[in-house]
Structures are given as C-alpha cells and as structure tokens.
Amino acid sequence: MKREDPDQSGKKRVELLPNFQQHFLTGLVTLVPVVITLWVVVFVIHRIGGGLARVLDLIPGLGALPYGVLTTLSFILLVILTYFVGLATQRALGTRLLQLGEQLIRRLPIIRSIYGASKQLTQTLFTEKIAFQKAVLIPFPHPGMYAIGFITSERPLPVLKNGRRYLHIFAPTTPNPTSGWYLLVPESDVIILDIPPEEALKMVVSGGIMTPLTGEKSSP
C-alpha cells in the first residue's frame, strides 16, 4: 500500500484554507444583498401594513388569521387602494374632490404647512425628474478636500448680494447614504461628474472600493 507523502498532504491543507476563504467571501457577497433586500421588503410591509392589520383584526373571521398574514393582506389592500385613488384623481370627479379637499386643508394653519411640504416632497421624488439627477464633487468638509454629492434641485437659489448662485446639494455619508448633509454650494465650486448617480452612490456606500461603471474593486 502506497503511503501519502507528508509534504503533499501538508500542501493540500495549506491550499484548502485560501479556497475556503475565497468561497466564503463569494457566498457572503452573494447572500448579503439578498438578505438586506428581503429585510427591507419585510420591514416596509410590516411598517405600512401593521396599522391596517389592527383594524382588520377586529373584523369577524379575519381575527383568527396569523398576524403576518394580516399584515401582508393589509399591505396588498393599501397598494390596491392607492392604485384606485390615483385612477380616480385622473378623472374629472376625482380631481374636483381632491381640489375641494385641498381647499379645506389650506384653511387649517398648521396642517396646511405639513401637507404642503409633504406634497412637494412627494411630487419631487415620484413625478418630477429633478431629484439626484447629477453626481458632483464639492469642496467638503475643508478646502482642498472633496466629497461626492448629488444635486437635489436644478433650480438654483436667486443671485445673492455677492453675485453668486448656489445649488442644493446632498452629500451622503459612508456606508449609510440615508444620512448626510444638505449643503448650499456656489455653482462655480460644483464639479459635475461624468458618471450616473447610481455609480457614484456605489462609490459612497463602498467607501471607494467599487469603481464607476465597472463594478470592480479599485486597484491599490
């Protein structure tokens, strides 16, 4: 019986560790986005459908359903309701009812401010093509240093006394881009980047590891 060379078996064990690390990292990179996506979807469904689920729980027959089923059912009902509200507001009668409702809201001192701001934000995010249209470089947080930002509005502030025009810029943080700074930057100091905003956001989230357009790690 032929005995295995100790040196050869040692080499196999040494080669196994780098392969394990490589395969583990590959699996991690594959699974983490899927897990995060599923977590966000479940979180949104529970946050949005949770309130209506409590109402459905009071209806005879539905109260016996598990809470998760009620929450999912509530979310589906809200989606359907939102669709029909949008369909109705595109008709003459729905538009008229919406106008009457807005006229009533505008007569309420505090509520009209909240409604006006939320309506403008919603229109900006879902109907107007002005949010996060361009990725830019701005001198931040100190002169000589630059940060990636996004123009949130193409409408600059009126010319001030110093004769300079200012743009609305959002500079997100790494690795959590949902927080950041709202900045008013002189238009002359803004450098427009020739990359899509999605690619610039990848750079911010990855801390510069991901290069634009290629999706590959940057070279050291």
Residue 145 inside a domain? The answer is yes
Which whole-number Å values give the CA distances from 212 to 7, 118, 133, 152, in the listed order? 45, 33, 16, 21
If asked whether residues 6 and 76 sit together in one domain, one would say yes
Range of the domain at 143: 134-206
Residue 110 inside a domain? The answer is no
Cα gap 161→174, rounded to integer Å = 35
- pLDDT tens digits, 137-155: 999 998 889 999 999 876 7
- Of the three residues 69, 90, 111, the one that is the final residue of a domain is 90
If asked whether residues 141 and 82 sit together in one domain, one would say no
If asked whether residues 9 and 80 sit together in one domain, one would say yes
Quote the number of domains for the chain.
Answer: 2
Q: Is pTM beyond 0.85 here?
A: no
Residue 8 inside a domain? The answer is yes
Residue 43 inside a domain? The answer is yes
Q: What is the pLDDT of residue 24?
A: 79
If asked whether residues 3 and 86 sit together in one domain, one would say yes
Residue 212 inside a domain? The answer is no
If asked whether residues 84 and 151 sit together in one domain, one would say no
- Of the three residues 30, 62, 90, the one that is the final residue of a domain is 90
If asked whether residues 61 and 139 sit together in one domain, one would say no
- pLDDT tens digits, 15-35: 555 677 777 777 887 888 788
If asked whether residues 70 and 140 sit together in one domain, one would say no
Burial degree of 40 (CB within 10 A; 0-12, 13-18, 19+): exposed
Residue 42 inside a domain? The answer is yes
Residue 151 inside a domain? The answer is yes
Q: What is the pLDDT of residue 124?
A: 59
* pLDDT-based confidence at residue 115 (cuts at 50, 70, 90): confident
If asked whether residues 143 and 59 sit together in one domain, one would say no
Residue 120 inside a domain? The answer is no
- pLDDT tens digits, 77-103: 888 888 888 888 777 777 788 788 888
Q: Quick one: tokens of 148?
A: 């990636």
- Of the three residues 60, 90, 120, the one that is the final residue of a domain is 90
- In the block, residue with structure tokens 């050291």: 220
* pLDDT-based confidence at residue 218 (cuts at 50, 70, 90): very low
Q: Which amino acid is at 204?
A: V
The answer to whether 9 and 15 are in contact (CB under 8 A) is no
* pLDDT-based confidence at residue 158 (cuts at 50, 70, 90): low
